[in-house]
Amino acid sequence: MKKIRTLFLLATLILASCKEGKKQDYLPESIGAYNTLTVVINNDLWKSEVGDNIRRHFAAPALGLSWDEAQFRITQIPHQIFSGSIRNTRAVLYVMEDTLDIAHMKSNMYAKPQLIGVIKGRNHQEIIENLDEKAPEFITEYKELEVAEAQKKFLKSLSKEKALQEKLGISLNVPSVYKVGREEENFVWIDRQIQKGNMNIIAYSVPWDTFENDSTFVKDIVSMRDSIGNLFIPGEDIPGKNNHMITEKAFSPYVFPAEVGGRKAAEVRGRWEMSEYPMAGPFLTYIINDKPNNRKLVLEGFTFAPATEKRDYMFELEAILKTVKFNE
């Protein structure tokens, strides 16, 4: 009898698991433009200090751009509007004054992939405290979701060019709209034309011991970038001038620890300019510890698009660079 009850319980659990699996299978595909966050919150709360706190965290300027652009484009809707297809939005922040004091992230509730950050509190102060605690974690998860979605889109039409494999022993999932513009023994430049300029990816390596002193790390990064610009990235031809890309002199780049392609790296965000000509824009560099090949692999994306917002361009370049794989 005990054996029968055990089998019955096991069958019930399997059936429940199957039903849950089917529920997941039937979820619609999530919707939403990249880097857009739908904030579900009533209008009074949105206009209060709670809304100010949300904007301070989630609409903070993205780092390294030519001018301030919010890291997320925020759309606010009240709770009663959060129904139907709107619930299929990919990135959601659900904020509510309630009898509960909670803050957590839920996945794939109404669509997939989807993240819904839930923040509740019994008063404004509790909501703000929960936001302050959870916002950095939520921002990281939202950004990872957006990057993963962009990378899935790349797979629909990938470049077949082999320059990165042949010159550097790596591969990137680069959309076919990008073309190799220059390749040397230890340098590859890939770019695509956009309406008001271009988007660029460069890849090269430097010796493993290039950065030996932590106290001069940022200075050494600038020196490395400027030397590569001098060698490979010329600007407008100006008589008597050596015009080439350099790191913007008036702006010290941001440097963070990162992991790219399964290896430790430094992430560098800043602005580039031409040494002798008024051109500039944002760049994102990953300096990757490639110990198996006794080198630092450098991947960089930079954009030239005057008088144009550049956040989404730099986001696409980031998503591409993070697909790097090393040849075995």
Q: pLDDT tens digit string along 187-221? A: 999 999 999 899 999 999 999 999 988 899 999 99
Q: Which of 136, 29, 1, 138 is nearest to 88 (CA)?
A: 29
> What is the pLDDT at residue 8?
46
Under 8 Å between Cβ of 173 and 166:
no
> What is the pLDDT at residue 20?
47
Q: Which of 279, 280, 316 is nearest to 301 (CA)?
A: 316
> What is the pLDDT at residue 19?
47
Q: pLDDT tens digit string along 112-156? A: 999 999 999 999 999 999 999 999 999 999 999 999 999 999 999
Q: How far is it between the farthest Cα atoms of the chain?
A: 96
Tell me the pairing of strands 254-260 and 277-290: unpaired
Q: pLDDT tens digit string along 28-56? A: 999 999 999 999 999 999 999 999 999 99
Distance of alpha carbon 284 from its chain centroid, rounded? 11
Alpha helices by DSSP H, the chain: 2-25, 43-46, 49-58, 124-154, 163-168, 217-232, 311-321
| Cα–Cα distance measured from residue 76 to residue 141, given in angstroms and rounded to the nearest whole number | 20
- Which range (236-240, 278-282, 288-292, 311-315) has the least confidence? 236-240
When pLDDT is cut at 50, 70 and 90, the band that residue 7 belongs to is: very low
> What is the pLDDT at residue 24?
54
2, pLDDT greater than 50: no
Three-state SS string over 111-144 comes to CECCEEEEEEECCHHHHHHHHHHHHHHHHHHHHH
